[in-house]
Amino acid sequence: MINRVFAMGAILLISLFWSTVMCAQQQHEGSIHYFTEPTLLHDVYGVHRIPIDTGDVSAPKDTLFQLLSREGKPVSYYRKIITEVCFDSSCRLLRVNLYWNVTGRYLGFELPPREFLSKAEHEPFNTDEYLRLHTILADSLSPIGGLNYGDLVPKSAVSDTLDGVTGATSDDVLQYVVKGAVFTTFTIWNLIYGPTQAAVIKATEQAMDANFLLDILNSTSLWDRHWALDRLSILPGPASEVKNRVLSLVCDGSYNLAAHALDAVPTGWCVNATFQQALWSKFDCVQYALKPMLLKKIGLCDDTPDSVLLDIANRLPQMNGPVLTAGLECLRKYLPGNQAVLQRLTSLLNHENRFVANQTKKILAEVSAAEQE
Amino acid sequence: MKRRAAIATMGAFSLGLTAPRLLKGEVLQQPQPIQKKTLHTDILVIGGGTAGVVAAIQAGRAGKKTILVENGSMLGGTTTTGGVAFPGIFFAWGKQVIGGIGWEMVQEAVSLNDDELPDFSIAHGRQHWRHQVRLNGPLYAMVIEDKCVEAGVDLRFYETPVEVVQRNNGWKVTTVGKGTQTEIMCNQLIDCTGNALAVSLAGFNLLREEEIQPGTLMFRIGGYSIDQLDMELITKEFNAAVSRGDLIKGEFLNVASLLRSAGDNVQHIAAADATTSTSHTIANIKGRASLLRTVKFLRTLPGLERLKVLDMQNETASRETYRIDSIYQITHDDYVTGKFFDDAVSYSYYPIDLHDAHGVVPKHLEEGHVATVPLRALIPRGSRNLIVAGRCLGSDRLANSALRVQASCMGMGQAAAAAAVLAHSQGKTPADVALPDLKQLLTEHGAIVPEKLT
């Protein structure tokens, strides 16, 4: 019960500060909080305790707290961390609550009341250092992920049991950590991106349904949207809202996201001719470099409606390079049976651009050879 | 008689010596003459490197009869032969700035190798290499060759130009290669040699620094465990060897970096110049000698006794040679402020990246700034029917240190070819083509043309 109240209070704070996308120090009842943009803005109505393996030798078991919405769906997760970080031959306890979004993305950290983080010589973090730590923790691609304990300080400087003091921290490492708190940074970053992150993702996947996935696809975080796109196949029969959302992402301004959305469209969705029509309707708004990908996707579908095939064929004379090639490939399997398409391709043999004429000639010759076989 | 008989016998004997003893299936051939040919084409591209490949494909796809001459055995230049298989940056400040044919080829190579693109929506900060796309070099070479063939480009490997002469309606370019001498008559000539060789042969002036940036031989070493090395000791021994003169100062500035990166883009060969066979031979010998010398030394150090060379490129890649004396020279200030030119035909985005004896400290552009390349920087002053693409464009040295990177060269390659295509179609020289036409053609082929922000 205490945990529940504490967690709800924390999430209320998250909601309160969500619009400050990153890095605003948040004081509440004497404690220190830093939170990023949450995936979901739902209020918390319950907490579910999930026993997890931490991967830590000294404390292999712990509890992951799953915060739940009114509908009983996950909103976020946290763990109460108590571990040791050593400084200059002495160790002190690190007590921090770490938060994850439903997608496993770092959400924030919170120190218990009257707790603070400290550097070498037990000097407390200042505001800039908390912000720096928060920024580092939000970076899932940080080179910290490629480091091991032994990389943190020059071998000759200190033994493995010591925390890194400023002067002894390896130059290569210093740019990725809070100065004077190399092991603290390293420890927390690895907690965020360690086995707990996988446990969070697993728990969320178990709760997945169409509306929940749609919520994540609508997250303002690009990372979350990518995460959701990777999980379209979890749904047995997605709602049309999910399909529409994915189609809208196909024309997103972010190249990576649009490409991912196209790639993620399950071939099974093509069974529906209306979906194929809707996918083709994105041809004009999709970025040029992704147009061939869209055509290839349609080419993977079976029983493409005539209206789509003819529209593609009608637009071939205006297509260039890889778009033309992909357009021709998309139509290949309907040749020579579809006379209307064949007629349009035949007319391209006299196109003024010899590249267009040659590409068309090549594909018609291949179709003809296949027929003769 | 005896003497005569002896001479006759000798004659018969020597005849027996000269008459070939042919084995079964062998045929005696006359000495092969050089094959001389004259070819006619709309557009001739010299240099099948980063820019040249894109230019040739653009010209071919636009319907022009196109020949691409390459003096090596493979397309791709710096990215493939040079081994710098990370072709620069295509996205800036969350938006794509280099697209079109170059990006198409990169994207296809990435996809075929099951690689993942970096997330370009996450700012790279000071670590611009986070946005670099790593390619499988050999795969990339095959992809781009396939694209050239598909576009109908006539590829001519192992050939180099030896004479470029102006004709009424274009150029006569003489090339020599393995057993060939070819006269290529073209209307438009695109110099993508990177060293402005064709421009020079055509009689136009070039610019060059007194001291050019060092080149790099790309290689890969292994046979050691980086975690097990006493890097302090190795660094001390390495520096001592440099001080003694056993190793050449500056070739490897940081032994720790050499070992960590396992040879990836860490060597500096002073004055490496790829312009002529003579200068490139010297650069290659120096690059390989440097590596051999260093490997021999490193194998004497603890933990490195079994160090091995796992791979090495065929040649030392150069960063800087000649630049053209163009209608407009892009300046450092133009570059870092992202100056927009009315005749801008492509973007370029990379930190100022001048390598010197002290290494390189990239200077990043301020947020939101993206440089543009004006058409005038691609055209030699006073020329007709001649255009360049790639690192030899008209620019000052600092601007060139960023413009030379492959992604920018891809953008230029497409733009130069589009200008040549229109010049050929309209009976003009590239400097005179209508800019709206040029921008339209580029856009239709997926290139990203700079737009003035209002």
The values of phi and psi at residue B16, to 5°, are: -60, -35
pLDDT at residue A168 in the model:
46
B62, B91, B150 member nearest A255 (Cβ): B91
Note the pLDDT tens digit of each residue in B406-419: 999 999 999 999 99
For range A292-313, the mean pLDDT: 96
| pLDDT-above-70 percentage for chain B | 94
Closest Cα in chain A, distance from residue B386 (Å): 23
Smallest CA–CA separation between B37 and chain A, in Å? 24
Check whether A30 has a pLDDT greater than 70: no
Comparing C-alpha atoms, which of B223, B366, B397, B415 is closest to residue B304?
B223
| Residue A161 confidence (pLDDT) above 50 | no
CA dihedral A47, A50, A53, A59 (to 10 degrees): 50
Q: What DSSP letter does each residue of B69-87 carry, written as one string?
A: E-SSSSS-GGGTTS-----
pLDDT in tens, B376-430: 999 999 999 999 999 999 999 999 999 999 999 999 999 999 999 999 999 999 9
Average pLDDT in chain A: 85
At residue A59, the pLDDT reads 76
pLDDT (average), residues A125-150: 88
Nearest to B126 by CA among B362, B439, B453: B362
Residue B342: its pLDDT value, please? 96
C-alpha distances in angstroms, A137 versus A179, A219, A230, A316, B384?
14, 20, 23, 49, 57
For A181-184, which contacts have Cβ atoms below 8 Å and span 24 or more sequence positions? A181/A117, A181/A118, A181/A119, A181/A120, A181/A125, A181/A129, A181/A133, A182/A152, A182/A153, A183/A85, A183/A86, A183/A152, A184/A85, A184/A94, A184/A117, A184/A119, A184/A133
Least confident segment among A50-64, A279-293, B117-131: B117-131
The ipTM (two decimal places) reads 0.79
Chain B residues in contact with A148 by the CB 8 A cut-off are 227
Is residue B13's pLDDT more than 60? no
Which range of B47-56, B115-124, B254-263 scores highest in mean pLDDT? It is B47-56
- Out of B61, B94, B107, closest to residue A321 by CB: B61
Which residues from chain A sit within 8 angstroms of residue B94, using beta carbons?
253-254
pLDDT at position B128 is 79
CB contacts < 8 A (A, B): 69
Residue B332 — very low, low, confident or very high, per pLDDT cuts 50/70/90?
Answer: very high
pLDDT digits (tens, 9 = 90+) for B143-163: 999 999 999 999 999 999 999
pLDDT computed for residue A361 by the predictor? 96
For A260-280, write each residue's pLDDT tens digit. Answer: 999 999 988 988 899 999 999
Q: Does residue A166 register a pLDDT over 90?
A: no
Contacts of B101 in chain A (CB under 8 A): 321
What distance in Å separates the CA atoms of residue B413 and residue B388, rounded to the nearest whole number?
8
Looking at the complex, report in whole angstroms how far the Cα of residue A45 sits from the nearest Cα belonging to chain B: 33
For B165-208, what is each residue's pLDDT tens digit?
A: 999 889 999 999 999 999 999 999 999 999 999 999 999 999 99
Confidence of residue B70 (pLDDT cuts 50, 70, 90): very high
Tokens 């060379």 correspond to what residue?
B309
Give the residue with greater pLDDT, A79 vs A85: A79
Chain B environment of A254 (Cβ under 8 Å): 94, 120-121
Contacts of B95 in chain A (CB under 8 A): 253
Statement: residue A21 has pLDDT above 50: no
What residues of chain A lie within 8 A of the CB of B120, using their CB? 254-256
Query: pLDDT higher for A84 or B106?
Result: B106
Question: Alpha helix locations (H) across A290-320?
Answer: 291-300, 306-315
> Looking at residue A172, what is its pLDDT?
67
- For residues B226 and A148, give the distance between their C-alpha atoms in angstroms, rounded to a whole number: 12
Would the pLDDT of A367 be above 80?
Answer: yes
Q: How confident is the model at residue A162 (pLDDT cuts 50, 70, 90)?
A: very low
User: What's the pLDDT tens digit per position in B265-295?
Assistant: 899 999 899 889 999 999 999 999 999 999 9
> Side chain identity at A33, as an amino acid letter?
H
What pLDDT sits at residue A169?
54
Give 3-state DSSP helix, strand, coil % of chain B, rounded to 5.
35, 20, 45
For residue A53, pLDDT beyond 90? no
Measured between alpha carbons, how far is B119 from B127 in angstroms, rounded to an integer? 13
Mean pLDDT of B329-334: 96
Residue B123 has pLDDT above 90, yes or no: no
Chain A residues with CB inside 8 Å of B130's CB? 141
Give the per-residue pLDDT at B21: 79
Residue A58 CA to residue A56 CA, distance in Å, equals 6
* CA–CA gap between residue B250 and residue B58 (Å, rounded): 41
Which residues in A have their CB inside 8 Å of a CB on B? 141, 148, 150, 154-156, 222, 226, 253-257, 259, 287-289, 292, 318, 320-323, 325, 352-356, 358-359
Q: How far does the CA of residue A108 sit from the closest CA of chain B (Å)?
A: 19
Q: In this predicted structure, what is the pLDDT of residue A163?
A: 42
Question: How much is the pLDDT for B5?
Answer: 58
Query: Least CB-CB distance to A320: which of B61, B94, B99?
Result: B61
Q: If you average pLDDT over each of A53-67, B11-25, B122-136, B410-424, which comes out highest?
A: B410-424
Of A21-30, A47-56, A357-366, the one with minimum mean pLDDT is A21-30
Rounded alpha-carbon distances, angstroms, from residue B251 to B8, B85, B240:
68, 21, 14
Locate the chain A residue with the closest alpha carbon to B93: A254
- In this prediction, residues B434-442 reach a mean pLDDT of 96
Task: Find residues 222-261 of chain B whose CB sits inside 8 Å of chain A.
Answer: 227, 230, 232
Mutate: best of B104, B146, B424, partner A, most A CBs <10 A: B104
Residues of B whose CB is below 8 A from A154:
232
Min Cα separation A321/chain B (Å): 6
- C-beta of residue A130 within 8 angstroms of C-beta of residue A181: no
Sign of CA dihedral B272, B277, B278, B283: positive
Backbone φ/ψ region at B216: left (φ over 0), alpha (ψ -120 to 50), beta: beta
Buried residues in B23-51 as b, exposed as e (16+ CB within 10 A): eeeeeeeeeeeeeeeebebbbbbbbbbbb
Q: How confident is the model at residue A165 (pLDDT cuts 50, 70, 90)?
A: very low
* CA–CA distance, A219 with A225 (Å, rounded to integer): 6
B326: DSSP letter: B
Sorting pLDDT into bands at 50, 70 and 90, what band is A38? very high
Q: What pLDDT is recorded for position B168?
A: 84
DSSP letter string, A124-175: BP-HHHHHHHHHHHH-TT-GGGG--GGGSS-TTTS-TTSPPPGGGS-HHHHT
d(CA A346, CA B1): 86
Angle between helices A273-280 and A306-315 (to 10 degrees): 20
Element (H, E) at A275: helix A273-280
pLDDT of A9 reads 38
